[in-house]
């Protein structure tokens, strides 16, 4: 990670963040624990989803943290890479799917096609 853009997370920074908003920090930790607990989806699957989403949101802390947690939950290197490829396809797929907005705008900007009244 680029140190000028993303500082290395330290105990001091984590403490400062918690000290500045302790109730919110506690609520976030409880929410996170509930989200990543076993439920209809097992923990490993949830971490693989988090790895994929982290790549779409491009959060380097999340990429590193959730990749490590996915490994600890038993995800294989192949599973992690496939989750990343799913994220890449979804990100590219969004641009592809939304191209219809540009095409519709082009068609409206050009006006009716000759012979279409």
Residues 99-111: tens digit of each pLDDT: 999 999 999 999 8
pTM above 0.75, yes or no: yes
Residues 37-90: tens digit of each pLDDT: 999 999 999 999 999 999 999 999 999 999 999 999 999 999 999 999 999 999
Which domains are present in the chain? Answer: 29-110 (1.20.1290.10)
Tokens for 21? Answer: 């908003």
Nearest 5°: the CA angle 44, 6, 1 is 70
Alpha-carbon distances of 3 from 7, 9, 56, 60, 84, rounded to whole Å: 5, 11, 21, 12, 24
């Amino acid at each position: 990670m680029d140190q000028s853009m993303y500082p290395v997370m330290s105990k001091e920074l984590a403490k400062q963040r918690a000290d500045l908003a302790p109730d919110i920090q506690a609520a976030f930790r409880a929410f996170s624990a509930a989200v990543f607990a076993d439920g209809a989806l097992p923990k490993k699957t949830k971490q693989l989803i988090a790895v994929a989403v982290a790549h779409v949101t491009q959060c380097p802390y999340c990429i590193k943290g959730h990749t490590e947690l996915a490994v600890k939950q038993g995800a294989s290197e192949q599973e992690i890479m496939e989750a990343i490829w799913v994220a890449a396809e979804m990100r590219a797929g969004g641009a592809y799917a939304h191209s219809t907005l540009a095409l519709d705008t082009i068609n409206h900007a050009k006006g009716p096609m000759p012979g279409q009244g």
